Every structure is written in structure tokens, then in C-alpha cells.
Structure 1
């Protein structure tokens, strides 16, 4: 127990220091997420060995991961993934998965159909929407045309791999897993419908919840945490990855509150980004074996290069040849910017490699390299994306229109 509190104290120290260090660096080029991972790696078992990944700490880390995906799911408007560009995002993700499978089959020594090969394939198709959201908010991209494109393509880079993990990384037969997945979706949909109808139905229970939302009862927060933990527990009982339940909880919460709630969002952000999510990233960093990463620099660089080729290039081409006038008006640099943002990958790489390691299909050292590569994308891709099309941060379509008005 003492070890656990020592670990938590050091994790809290890293979490508190990360934003200070990030903001002291001019222009804040390094995201806090990267600093959290570095801190965890330096203090983890492979280096200083003062942060231990014991069972109790890992439980909190899993809750942090779940909170990250809940907030990501909550931020996504269903129309983003069902609209015209969202459908192109789905098709593009399927293409990236096929390219990833082909790359693993042709250029690696692992079996593409083995658990380790499938884990690498899925990792090559991911977009870290949860890690991207704070960056997009800081840069004022949410709600802009560029931001909408990032979410349209990026959400499928999160949702597609989650479903693929459930279907392909299970030890059960595919049909059994598919049946369980359908059952899970049915339960999630029924929960969403029940919650939506209950939120509109007047009565004493509804009055109690609304009366206690800003008191010590914090009824809205408690119900949200119940929803999250219940769906994560259901995922675990069905032997599905917890990220599926967490992401579903975010979608359900958005369906119940379609216009959102600023008060609830502030409270959830405080719980998530104030404690649980930084803890998840620090523990993820503690799992990285820096010596193993140093011994495999080619694997590290090669994985990042494959991410760009398999994930970024198809998205760029999809946008480049999109006949939608608004997409075309963004221009090639914005298309490249969207593609690079969507190549930011981390939380799902942690989840995918953890499944492979726990199954004995992947070594800890190899997983460390992949997680480190994902961490580097969080640092590199947003920087390059911003440099590629800086005007995108200032609402490009509005500027273009203003320019046209000025010429007239």
C-alpha cells in the first residue's frame, strides 16, 4: 500500500509539473501529453524505478483511459461520422486497414493473421482523437471547417480500430465475438434511448437530479460516472476492450444531452484532465522501456514512416479529390494538415499493444517501441500540421471569402 501511495505522489508531481514546463517553453511546441509520457518513462521500472505499475495503480490508469475515451465520444457529433465527409472517412479507414494488413504481410517478419500482426495492423490505422481534442481546442480549430474535417476522418480512425480490436484481437471465434458485439451495441442503444426519454420525462426523480446537479450531491456527475463504469464493466464481462464501453458511454451522453452542458463538461474535464487522464499517460510512459527503444531505432522510425504512408496519404488523397466545393476551397495545404493531424496516434496503440503483450504475442520491448512512436506522433504531427497550413488556425474559408469581397 505504501508503494502505491509513493507511485501516486510521484505521478501527481509529474502531472502538476507538465503544464508548467509546457508553458515555460516559448510557443509551447511540446504537448503536455508528451511530457507526461516522458516523466513516466524516466521514473518507471526501466529507469529510476520509483513508479510501480501495481494492480491498484493500473486500475486508476484504466479509469483514466476510460475517461479519455468518454470525453472523446462526448465531443463528437453523430452527424460528423454519418454525413458525406464522415462516410468518406469510413471508406478511407477501410482502405488504410487494407494497406496496413498488406504492409505487415509484405514487410515484416510477423504473421499478418497472427495476434501480433493484427495488433500492428490496427495500430497503423489509428487516430488519437482523445489526445487531439485538447490541441484542437487550444488552436481554436473546433467548430471550423478544418476542424470538422479532422473529426470526420479522425473519428473513424478511433472508432474503426476499437471495433477491429473487439473482432480481431479476441481469443473467441469471430462469429461469437460479432454476436457479443451486436448484443453490446443493442444494450448501449437501449441505454441511450432510456436515458434520453427519462431526461425529458417530468417527475420527482427528474426534479431531484436537476436540484442536486450543483450541490454536494453532484447528481449529473454521479450518473455520468455510473454510465461510464457500467459500460466499461459490461465490456470487461463480455471480454471486450474497455475503450469500447468508454467510447459508447461518450456517445450515449451526447445523445442524452444533444446540445451539451457547459457545467457538466467543466466538471468532467476537471475530473478527467485534472487527475485520471494525466495518470493514464504517466503510467503509459512508465510501461515504456527506454533502453529497448534505444536498441530499436529503425523500428521506431519505420513505424512512424508507415503511419504517414498508410494513414496520412489516403486521407490527403481523399480530400484532394473530394468534389465538395467547401472541401476543395480549403486547398492542398489544409488537406495535408488534416491528414497529418489524423496521423496523431497514441491511446489506442497503448490499448492494442497491451492486448498483444497480455496474450504473449508481443514482447514488452517491442510494445515499448510502438508506444514511443505513438508518443512522438503526438509531438511531431500537430507541429508539422500547423506549420504546413498556419492560416488554417485562423478560419481559412472566412479569410478567403473576405479576400474575395475585398477584390470586388
Structure 2
């Protein structure tokens, strides 16, 4: 029966990318389809997928690899630097707000497992879930992506550590001792291979020599580190998320510069099989009937996540010296992405249900809310970015001044949003956000836009503006007095669009140059 369930899950995993790509603009991440199909095919509905011990083990390995890759993705500087410190402080504030919110609700008690579980769920960020979504949308390596990692890391790490302390049946001293032993094991697993690498020992030379053979020694070393820390977590009744996350940090310490070949192999193993199993099984645990019977609780939990998690991040980014200059819509984008929650909700509700402190119906609603955020928050961030790019306030002002040209004005602003979206795609379509081989010139931009205009996707006047800016003749060769008011408005929109793209491009290029200098 386990192999039948795994075969169906494999079919779901294979079909999900096709379904996601069939929707224009791909607004729904593949993860959402894994969750939804898991819920429909799971034991609470069609009963095709059975979550037995064998399937659960594979699912937990998927969860472990999800957090391993999330931990490996994080640059330690992003959590220890200025923005990282603000991220930690923001999580502490978020925890305090969540505690007060739960304290004054009649349904939960903050002194028991149920209230603590809800409090932690309200402070979480599904960083492991966000990493593949960020890769799909080319946010990795951008300034917005770096901020998501800085705040999202503490939204993941904070609840994981708090779970180990607050949801443990042991005394506080026993828990601290075990966490201390866990830290020692992590240090040993990190320092021994790293020191072997630096001194050029025969051990690490052997690992590198056999890394691309059938021995796959580097992959096996990674799996050894991961399974060792997960086993430690299981033996001492810690959540496996803690061990998995720590394994990612250990791997990053061993190879701080990264290893493209190893990352490709791990991605193939994790995203090709194990992680889709985890998301599908997570969906199979959702009782859609119980969720449908409590719509108020479902909506209320999502709204609470927005207020308790997103608002403090938005305020923190506005006062943090490292992100104060980030545009308002950039800060809102980060706040929305960091409100995405699922794996931590699955973990804390499982602990509370097993302890008899939380009903399975309430747990299903909370997991469903977390699953909805995986779809809703990235979608809201994407739509918000597009709406702001269209400069709606300016559009309203222009329509009020020239109501007879309302249709043309709205079309011009739509062109502006489309152009910026395609420019962003061009900018980030090379190496997951890394700027490609030097800084693209405005001539390159104009050539790419010409191709888009030929297919009818971008207004020709925007392309004209790009060419004029590329030749640095916009101000010299275009006499505004010779243009109609409609043409002036459209060319001004175009000028703004190209300049905004140039600004974004220079920002990313400067960041890459700084990273290269640090590497040297």
C-alpha cells in the first residue's frame, strides 16, 4: 500500500508543474497544487493516498531536506548583520504581540500547549517553502530577496528554538543542557570537515576526488550530517526541523563559497522527489470538511498573521538603516512574503495534537490557513508590485485632468507596468537573480524591447523612449512642444520606466560587485 501511495504522490508531483504553467503568468506556485491535490486525494476525502508509517518517513525526509536547503541558502552575514539583528528584534516583538493576542482570546490559553502552539504559529515564516518560490520568481540574490532571507530566517529559527523550550515536557534546565549538547555536535560536524579542507588533508582530498564518481562522496557527507543531526533531534525529543536547519548551516560553514555541482545534485534529490512528498502528505493531513465548517477561524487566522507578522516587519524595514531606502512597495513585498507560513504550523500543531491539547479539527484549520498563505501572500506581493508599477495615483490625476483621454492614459500606465515586469524578468533571468556578464547597457535594453514591441507586447513609443535614452538624446531630439498632450504623457511614462529599470539594474550590479570584492 505504501508504494501505491508513493506512486500517486509521484504522479501529483509530476503533474503539478504542468498545471501551474497552464495558468497565464503562473500566479500560483507549484507547492499550492501539491497541497490541494494531497488534500483531495488524502484520507479525509477520496482516500487514495494513505499516510502510513513508510510514507510518513519519506515525508519527514522531505521536510528535513527542505530545511537543509533553506539553511544552506542563508549567508550568516544576513542574520548577524544590521538587517539580521533587526530581523531578530522584530521576531521578538512579533512573539510578544502574538502572546497578547492569544492571551485575550477565549479559545486558547497561553499557559497550555494549545495557546503556545498558536502563538508560535503566528510568528512563523515558511522560509523553506519560500526558497523554491523565490527561485521560481528570480528573487534570490536581489535586495528584496536578501531582506526576505534576513527576516524570514528568524521567523523560522525563532519558532524552532522556542518549540524546543516551550513545547518540551522536560524542565528548562534539561532542555538547555540538551540544546548545549546539540550545539557541540553541530560544531564538531562543521569544524572537522572544514579544517580538513583548509589544511588539505587526505580526507577532504578523497571526498573531492570521488565527489563526481559513483561514490558521490560529497552528497553522502551531506546526508551523513543531515541524518546525524535529525537523529539527535529525534532521540532527545527535539523537532527534526531544528536538526535539518542546523545541517544547512553546517554545510554552509564547510563550503562558504558554495558548490554549484553539489547544489544541483541536492536540488535534484530534494525537489525531484522528497520535498514534493512532504507537501503532498501535508495536504493529505488537512480535513477539508472541518475547514469548511469553520470559515471564520480560517479567515481570522490569516488576518492575524498579516497583522501580527507583516506589520512589524514593515515598520522594522522602515526604521532599519540598511533598508530605510528600500521603496515602500519593496518593503511591503518583503512583509507579505515573510507572512507565508506552513511547515512550522504543521510541526507545532502536530505536537499539540499528540499531547491532546489541540483538536484535529482546529489543527486542520490552522494547517489550511498556512497552506493558503503559501498561495495568497506571494500572489498579493506580485499583484501589489504590478499595481504600484502602473503608478495608479498618477493615472487617476491624469484622468481627472484629461477625462476624454482616459482610455489612452490607462493603456499607457498598463504599458508601464508590463514594461517593468518584462525588464525585471530580463534582469533576473540569468542565474537566479545574478547580473549576467557585466552591466547590460541601455542599447541592450532597447534591442530586447524592440523584439517585445514586434510581438505586440509593449507599446512602440516606450521602445522609442528606450532607444532615445540609450543614445542619450532624449532631451535633445524630442521637443515636447511638437507632441500632443497624449504623446507627451506616454513618453514621460516611458522615460520613467526606463530610468526605473536602470536604477534597479545598477542596484543589483553594485551588490554583485560588493560580493565579488568580499570574495577576494
Asked if these proteins are the same fold (TM beyond 0.5), I'd say yes
- Aligned partner of 2:300 in structure 1 is 302
Pick the aligned partner of 2:503 from 387, 400, 407: 400
Say which structure, 1 or 2, has more relative contact order (CA 8 Å, 6+ apart). Answer: 1
Q: 1:289, 1:365 within 8 Å by CA — same for their partners in 2? A: yes
Identify the range of structure 1 (307-316 vs 23-32) with the bigger mean alpha-carbon deviation: 23-32
Report the alpha carbon displacement of residue 403 of structure 1 after superposing the two structures with TM.
Answer: 10
- The whole-number CA distance in structure 2 between the counterparts of 1:320 and 1:156 is 18
Q: Deviations along 1:223-250, whole A, 9 cap, x unmatched?
A: 1111100100001111100000000000
Taking structure 1 as reference, are residues 376 and 401 closer, same or farther at Cα in structure 2, changes over 3 Å only? closer
Q: Is the 8 A contact 1:37 1:375 kept in 2?
A: yes
Equivalent runs, 1:283-322 vs 2, <5 Å: 283-322=281-320
| Equivalences, count | 400
Alpha-carbon deviation of 1:201?
3.2
Instruction: Indicate the structure (1 or 2) with the bigger Cα radius of gyration.
Output: 2
Question: How far apart are residue 398 of structure 1 and its match?
Answer: 6.7
- Residues 1:192 and 2:190 aligned together: yes
CA contact (8 A) 2:189 2:225 kept: no
* Cα deviation code 1:333-374 (max 9, x no counterpart): 111111001001111111111111111111111111111100
TM-score (norm 2): 0.75
2-structure distance, mates of 1:219, 1:297:
50
User: Aligned partners of 1:200 and 1:257: how far apart in 2?
Assistant: 11
- Spell out, residue by residue over 1:66-99, the C-alpha distance to the aligned partner (whole angstroms, 9 max, x if none): 0000000000000000000100000000000011
Residue 117 (structure 1) aligned to one of 115, 118, 142:
115
Could you say if the C-alpha distance between residues 144 and 403 of structure 1 is closer, same or farther in structure 2, counting changes exceeding 3 Å? Answer: closer
Distance 1:255 1:318 in 2: 28
Distance in 2 separating the partners of 1:35 and 1:401: 32
Partner of 2:341: 345
CA–CA separation in structure 2 for the residues paired with 1:57 and 1:244: 21
User: How far apart in 1 are the matches of 2:68 and 2:103?
Assistant: 34
Q: CA deviation at 1:46?
A: 0.4
Map Cα deviations across residues 22-62 of structure 1 (whole Å, 9 max, x no partner): 11111111111110011111111100111111111111111
CA drift of 1:113 comes to: 1.5
Contact 2:130 2:340 in 1 (8 A): yes
Residues 1:372 and 2:364 aligned together:
no
Correspondence for 1:182: 180
SS at match of 2:324: helix
Q: What secondary structure does 1:389 align onto?
A: helix
Is 1:209 the counterpart of 2:312? The answer is no
Q: Which among 250, 255, 258 is matched to residue 257 of structure 1? A: 255
Q: 1:353 to 1:201 in 2, by over 3 A?
A: same
CA distance in 1, matches of 2:337, 2:502: 21
Instruction: Give 5+ residue unaligned stretches, structure 2.
Output: 390-419, 428-498, 508-520
* 1:235 is the counterpart of 2:233: yes
| 1:267 counterpart residue number | 265
Deviation at 1:397, TM superposition (A): 8.2
